[in-house]
Amino acid sequence: MASFRVVPVLDVKHGVAVHGVKGQREKYAPVDCSWCKDGDVRQLINGYQNEFGLQDLYAADLDAITEGTPSVEVYLQIKELVLGRIMIDAGITNMQGFHDLETYDFAEIILGTESVPSLSVFTDVINTNRNDTIISFDVKMGHLLSPIKNLASAGLDNAFRRVEALNPSAIIYLDLTGVGAKIGVNPVARKLVDAASVPVFLGGGVKSANDLQEAKDAGFCGVLVATALQEGLIDRAGIDALDQ
């Protein structure tokens, strides 16, 4: 059985690491915590690695996702700094976007439901990518974000099963409303993971080491976490205890 992964988050906007709250991206401010000032990307990544022993990274390129302008300089920076696996959401909408991102050889490329305009793009990338392809199941206020109308309107359970049937390497249940809100393990995600046939990560809401344990016990393969690390709500001992 694969080990449970705690994956720290880098949300980057205009070259700066920002603190995500409830998916309100226009209000995201630079990360400012005891070990990262003014949204310094290098400080943030080094802090995740040195303070918590977390070597993987989830990166969301908000410029690419919202404006279609990739933060290429940040890609090079995180490739240099990150010791483990990098999963990245760069707002891919077509195969050309995938091929452009593929040149950086990230271990895990994310396709977000909020960005991908057709099921065929999901299928084509999954079948082409030599590395792992993860689908981010992007939920806000209880509704799936997707430009694919019959997917967005299918209801979360049915939409999740359709995404699962595409056979990605994993799915991230990303509760954007829960990001930075410290609301705990999402009950809808918990229900979906019970019957999932692919690994499922939980994104959004984790507020404590108890939540990490709860997510692990519920069957998630890992969690994405930022606020709880940056605010000191989870420490290294709490993370290390998951392996005991």
Give the per-residue SS3 of the chain: CCCCEEEEEEEEECCEEEECCCCCHHHCEECCECCECCCCHHHHHHHHHHHHCCCCEEEEEHHHHHHCCCCHHHHHHHHHHCCCCEEEECCCCCHHHHHHHHCCCCCEEEEECCCCCCHHHHHHHHHHCCCEEEEEEEEECCEECCCCHHHHCCCHHHHHHHHHCCCCCEEEEEEHHHCCCCCCCCHHHHHHHHCCCCCEEEECCCCCHHHHHHHHHHCCCEEEECHHHHCCCCCHHHHHHHHC
Q: How confident is the model at residue 208, as a pLDDT?
A: 95
Q: What is the pTM of this model?
A: 0.95
Structural domains in the chain, CATH included, are 5-243 (3.20.20.70)
Q: Return d(Cα 72, Cα 69) in angstroms, integer.
A: 9
pLDDT at 178: 75
CA gyration radius for the chain? 16
The pLDDT score that the predictor gives to residue 140 is: 93
In angstroms, the CA 243 to CA 160 distance is 29
Identify the pLDDT of residue 82. 98
Please write the tens of the pLDDT for every residue from 64-96: 999 999 999 999 999 999 999 999 999 999 999
Cβ-contact 228, 182 below 8 angstroms: yes
Give every residue of the chain whose pLDDT is below 50, as ranges: 1
What phi, psi does 163 have (nearest 5°)? -65, -40
Task: Return the bridge partners of 59, or none.
Answer: 10, 88
| Token duo for residue 201 | 């990560």
pLDDT of the residue at 22: 65
**Whole-angstrom Cα distance, residue 232 to residue 33?**
9
* The predicted structure's pLDDT at residue 182: 78
